Structure 1
């Protein structure tokens, strides 16, 4: 494929024999990190609604997907440095139906469609280890 030859990682027309995973490069504190799209849950919002919101807020309305199930497939918790606060991130699986990513959140600087094997090149080790538990090739 042309995308494989050119190294274009912004298209789903690459590695057609493999499952692709959407990652975004987001400003978190003072750092830019590659993460799965996420959003903070608002009061009264279900976790599945938050998962849908995460995709729309991160990728715009042009990306069509289906969130699988009503319960998360995994979670990651961490402490915020220099505070007593902690954060839990819950993950949902989604299937890509079509459309394109149009970054809409100013804290998101870039995105890529990567294979499972490529994920570890972008993620921090602790984060990658946790999400690798529920991502299957």
Structure 2
């Protein structure tokens, strides 16, 4: 049998070590380099850092100030507003798109463009957000007790079809500057239930929908 070349012998020796020890190699081989550092706990590593980590509990958390993004840093926050624009109820920021983009207050825009314009309307031009999808993350059909006539006149309309989009904050303050807003809060998914009305069956279903799709 032909003698293996040096690289072949080294390879076969390595395969034998792998078969013998599995993923745990003898320390004398030093195959993992500084992998032992990965086994160190946070309590061991933190004192050696050249900087001091800021606390995750902020002043806003201690004061229960929900009008700032600088709170609940370990959670995802959602914006709720209240005022004439939401008929005095807590709800997500919304805009009207009627007739497939031919009417309403966002005339001629696609649904995604309407969403982006709504973010600018309520948050201002300096607020930067990332929209991860062209498609909505959910839809809700609001059915009123009485039919109403649309702005274009003619046929009566029963309710509204509400499409939900997600925008992720990238840069800018979390202060709402849009008209028709008297109050706003940045809340976690669990805290949303404290604000959304749930007096009727429809309101409860709507609140449950938001907590599931957001």
Pair 1:70-2:134 in alignment: yes
Q: What secondary structure is seen at the aligned counterpart in 1 of 2:79?
A: strand
The residue correspondences of 1:1-137 to structure 2 (distance < 5 A) are 1-27=58-84, 31-41=87-97, 42-43=101-102, 44-84=108-148, 85=157, 86-100=159-173, 101-105=175-179, 107-124=180-197, 125-135=204-214
Deviations 1:20-39 (A, max 9, x none): 1111113267x411111111
Which shows bigger deviation, 56-65 or 10-19?
56-65
Which shows bigger deviation, 75-84 or 44-53?
75-84
Q: What secondary structure is seen at the aligned counterpart in 1 of 2:194?
A: coil
What runs of 5+ residues in structure 1 fail to find an aligned partner? none
Q: Is the 8 A contact 2:176 2:184 kept in 1?
A: no
When Rg is computed on C-alpha atoms for both structures, the one with the higher figure is: 2
Displacement of 1:118: 0.0
Instruction: Report the structure, 1 or 2, having the larger helix content.
Output: 2
Q: 2 CA distance for matches of 1:103 and 1:33?
A: 18
Q: How many residues align?
A: 133
RMSD: 1.8
Instruction: Report the structure, 1 or 2, having the larger strand content.
Output: 1
| TM norm structure 2 | 0.57
| TM norm structure 1 | 0.86
Which shows bigger deviation, 69-78 or 20-29?
20-29
Q: 2 CA distance for matches of 1:16 and 1:80?
A: 38
